[in-house]
């Protein structure tokens, strides 16, 4: 008989759940959950954004799509039909949801300093449509993770907590209208919460920055501009929001305002990666197609500004690629800049570097 190998063990969260979890929050029957906008909002392509450059991670937090997680799992109870009138199938499901919810409450209370336990509880509340309770759990998880301000030991978890926190703020304010611009009352409510939250704790700026990104990725560009511009006013030292405001202006077609954002940002931080790349791309879009090219007459006329813009764009991209040589997209843009300026050999070298970085 051939030797059989047992299946690999499934990852589990170790916790003592043998006690009677009496510490329920009193709401065992969950309401119909609101849809989660995360996956759709994060899947759209966009210029380089800055989720939170203060939290370093191996997963490049600038790409929001890499940090958004969903709670669809074989061990997670599906809750969509809990409140349907069909008692035969829903009763066991309601019981499972209630037991799981009570267990998570019990674990979070038994391990009050466990950031992951509070995060999991927040995910449960979020799936049940209880946004305010989810926000409280995410805030507690963030507080635990940020206790050591010098070094955040779990940057990936912190990033995920902040993303879901931002989603719940939108869920609490917008309800089911995730594909529309915020109404005046909804926007005023969010901006009021933003101001009070950041003034109370400047570290909350990262959450509101991500909220602006969620709106931007969801196509609610004007709402994103309102949130990000308000955040830059309340927290002027939080530069990632200024970088993302520039991206939002690009998507709205307001290139002059976008350029001002990136210029202001580069004056404050000459090595900000998102600003370097996006400002260079903006210059290439505005002036690159009008460049005289190699051997062209650029001493007079409109080509002077275009030539200067190409020089600045190349300098920005060279600084960006020096900071991150593995950034394939930067090599492509640098190759484009050299090509527009007639430097075809340098453009070819950049494309070769792009190929190498893609293989890493």
pLDDT at residue 41, rounded to an integer: 35
Question: Quick check: 263 pLDDT over 90?
Answer: yes
Q: Which residue has the tokens 């989603």?
A: 167
The CATH number of domain 270-294+301-360, selected from 3.90.420.10, 3.40.50.720, 1.25.40.10, 3.40.640.10: 1.25.40.10
From the list 66, 35, 67, 205, the residue with the least C-alpha distance to 131 is 35
The answer to whether the CB of 128 falls within 8 A of the CB of 79 is yes
The answer to whether the CB of 174 falls within 8 A of the CB of 186 is yes
The mean-pLDDT minimum among 51-55, 62-66, 296-300, 329-333 falls in: 62-66
Question: Quick check: 198 pLDDT over 90?
Answer: yes
Average of pLDDT values for 159-178?
A: 84
At 8-46, the pLDDT tens digits run: 554 444 444 344 444 445 444 444 444 444 333 333 334
Write the CB contacts of 330 (distance below 8 Å, at least 6 apart in sequence): 277, 317, 320, 321, 324
In the chain, where are the structural domains located?
22-258, 270-294+301-360
At 117-150, the pLDDT tens digits run: 999 999 999 998 899 999 999 999 999 998 866 5
What percent of the chain shows pLDDT beyond 90? 46
Question: Quick check: 276 pLDDT over 50?
Answer: yes
pLDDT at residue 195, rounded to an integer: 94
pTM, rounded to two decimals: 0.67
What's the whole-number average pLDDT of the chain? Answer: 77
């Amino acid at each position: 008989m051939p030797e059989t190998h047992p299946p690999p063990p499934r990852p589990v969260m170790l916790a003592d759940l043998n006690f009677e979890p009496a510490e329920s929050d009193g709401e065992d029957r969950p309401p119909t959950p609101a849809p989660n906008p995360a996956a759709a909002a994060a899947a759209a392509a966009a210029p380089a954004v800055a989720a939170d450059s203060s939290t370093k991670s191996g997963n490049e937090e600038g790409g929001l799509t890499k940090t958004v997680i969903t709670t669809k799992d074989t061990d997670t109870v599906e809750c969509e039909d809990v409140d349907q009138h069909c008692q035969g199938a829903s009763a066991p499901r309601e019981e499972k949801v209630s037991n799981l919810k009570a267990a998570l409450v019990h674990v979070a209370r038994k391990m009050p300093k466990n950031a992951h336990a509070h995060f999991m509880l927040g995910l449960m509340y979020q799936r049940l449509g209880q946004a305010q309770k989810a926000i409280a759990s995410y805030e507690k998880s963030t507080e635990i993770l940020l206790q050591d301000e010098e070094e955040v030991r779990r940057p990936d978890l912190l990033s995920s907590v902040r993303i879901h926190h931002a989603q719940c703020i939108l869920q609490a304010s917008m309800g089911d209208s995730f594909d529309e611009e915020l109404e005046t009352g909804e926007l005023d409510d969010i901006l009021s919460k933003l101001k009070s939250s950041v003034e109370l704790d400047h570290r909350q700026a990262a959450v509101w920055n991500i909220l602006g990104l969620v709106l931007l990725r969801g196509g609610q560009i004007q709402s994103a501009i309102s949130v990000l511009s308000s955040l830059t006013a309340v927290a002027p030292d939080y530069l990632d929001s200024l970088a993302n405001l520039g991206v939002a202006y690009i998507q709205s077609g307001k290139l002059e305002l976008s350029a001002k954002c990136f210029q202001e940002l580069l004056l404050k931080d000459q090595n900000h990666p998102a600003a370097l790349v996006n400002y260079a791309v903006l210059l290439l879009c505005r002036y690159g197609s009008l460049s005289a090219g190699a051997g062209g007459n650029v001493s007079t006329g409109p080509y002077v500004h275009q030539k200067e813009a190409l020089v600045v764009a190349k300098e920005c991209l060279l600084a960006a690629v020096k900071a991150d040589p593995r950034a394939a997209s930067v090599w492509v843009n640098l190759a484009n800049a050299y090509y527009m300026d007639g430097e075809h050999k340098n453009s070819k070298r950049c494309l070769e570097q792009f190929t190498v970085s893609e293989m890493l």
